[in-house]
Amino acid sequence: MKNSNLLIIISFISIVACAQKHKSIVIAEDPTTIDYTTEVVVPKLDIPWGFVFLPDGALLITEKAGKLIHFKDGVKTNIDGLPEVYLRGQGGLMDIELHPNYSENGWLYITYSSSDGEGEGGNTALIRAQLIDTKLTSVERLYKAEPNSKRGQHFGSRIEFDNDGYLYFSIGDRGNRDVNPQDITRDCGKIYRINDDGSIPNNNPFLEFPGAKTAIYSYGHRNPQGMICHPDTGEIWVHEHGPRGGDEINRIKKGKNFGWPLISYGINYSGTSFTDDTYLPGMEQPLFYWVPSIAPSGMAYVTSDVYKDWKNNLLIGSLKFEYLERLVLDNNKVVKREKLLEGMGRVRNVRQGPDGYIYASLESIGILKIVPNKY
């Protein structure tokens, strides 16, 4: 009984300490502003990590277990030609994105965990390929993080193009927080920027640093699993998983250090602290952070007029609490939060479709379309 009471007291102290550290982040949740229904567009998917809309209205969907699915008119077709996927823990077949000029050049981009390269285990890789009928062709590997690791966590990974045609992608710290994120001579815990053919832009920030990985654009990240190009500013925004508390939204800036793990608004999963610092000189502050963590995955910026009062809002999936979160912004500050699709399943990704509707992929369910009722 004495030991049980001691554990309760220690747990209470750690919770209070965490709350005091983060008390400024409490934001009232906004009541639902839109009456909506959902339609299952693509049923019976396991872990639909990424999806994109093709010009002919079809969908390409990545299943984490290693399947690339083409879906059109109710028919699912498995696409052949993928490289071998190293399936371990959080690693697998991850994001997919189309080239901005896909209709002209047919290039699509995919991230996945690969065992190729140095060492046992795997790490995140990026390829581009073209789709001919039901097969990937002209497959080119553009980047592969090194070295491999047998750890099962923090592969990332999302892909996005900016308005200048540069390609950005994320790789998590691979669970090696004390080594990888702060070292620009090592992969992992980084946002990368390359040209669409895999070459390194001549204005990347670390070209002149001896031994640096020259594809790195920013560093000090934990595990980014959401990425957008802001439609107004052209900035790349990411969100990333914190530990216990401290999930973040960050506006990516060239060559900047985002602090992990030297600064954080989170604590260890055990309830102990690994840093007392939430700010240090030369390190960027997040636009927003969550306490408790929601385990964010997927992010979309609403530009559509389909939804009343949602325009210019962020939508972010929550794996932990199984909902889609709507964040209302005012001058780049989050002022309201709302839960959508609550209790339906783990939201892995979210996108605004070419038709202006919002689509979300939910684990063990499929891809849903959010349809506002008349108002």
Could you report the per-residue pLDDT of 102-145, keeping only the tens digit for each?
999 999 999 999 999 989 999 999 999 999 999 999 999 999 99
pLDDT at 17 > cutoff 80: no
pLDDT at 222 > cutoff 50: yes
The whole-number pLDDT of residue 31 equals 52
pLDDT at 87 > cutoff 80: yes
pLDDT at 15 > cutoff 50: no
The whole-number pLDDT of residue 309 equals 87
The whole-number pLDDT of residue 30 equals 52
Mean pLDDT of the residues in the chain: 92
CA–CA distance, 274 with 264 (Å, rounded to integer)? 9
CA–CA distance, 111 with 168 (Å, rounded to integer)? 11
pTM: 0.91
The per-residue pLDDT for range 257-310, each reduced to its tens digit, is 999 999 999 999 999 999 999 999 999 999 999 999 999 999 999 999 999 889
Contact (CB, 8 A) for 126 and 141: yes
Q: What is the mean pLDDT of residues 315-324?
A: 98
pLDDT at 20 > cutoff 50: no
- Confidence band, pLDDT 50/70/90 cuts, at residue 27: low
Ranges of each domain in the chain: 24-372
The whole-number pLDDT of residue 33 equals 62
| b (16+ CB within 10 A) / e for 280-291 | eeebbebbbbbb
Closest CA to 360 of 297, 273, 279: 297
The per-residue pLDDT for range 147-170, each reduced to its tens digit, is 999 999 999 999 999 999 999 999
The per-residue pLDDT for range 201-217, each reduced to its tens digit, is 999 999 999 999 999 99
Q: Just list the catalytic residues.
A: 154
**Residue 81 CB coordination number (10 Å):** 15
Helices and strands (H, E) in the chain, number of each type: 2, 24
**Amino acid found at 254:** K
Contact (CB, 8 A) for 279 and 293: no
Judged by DSSP in three states, 13 sits in helix
The whole-number pLDDT of residue 308 equals 83
**Amino acid found at 174:** R
**Residue 372 to residues 40, 340, 365, Cα–Cα distance (Å):** 14, 12, 20
pLDDT at 240 > cutoff 70: yes
H or E, element range at 249: strand 247-251
**Amino acid found at 341:** L
Contact (CB, 8 A) for 264 and 246: yes
Judged by DSSP in three states, 20 sits in helix
Fold assignment, 24-372:
Neuraminidase (2.120.10)
Residue with tokens 């007029």: 305
CA–CA distance, 131 with 351 (Å, rounded to integer)? 21
Contact (CB, 8 A) for 205 and 227: no
The whole-number pLDDT of residue 99 equals 98
Percent of the chain with pLDDT over 90: 89
- Confidence band, pLDDT 50/70/90 cuts, at residue 9: very low
The residue ranges of DSSP E strands in 99-242, in sequence order, are: 107-114, 123-132, 135-144, 159-161, 167-171, 190-194, 216-219, 224-229, 236-240
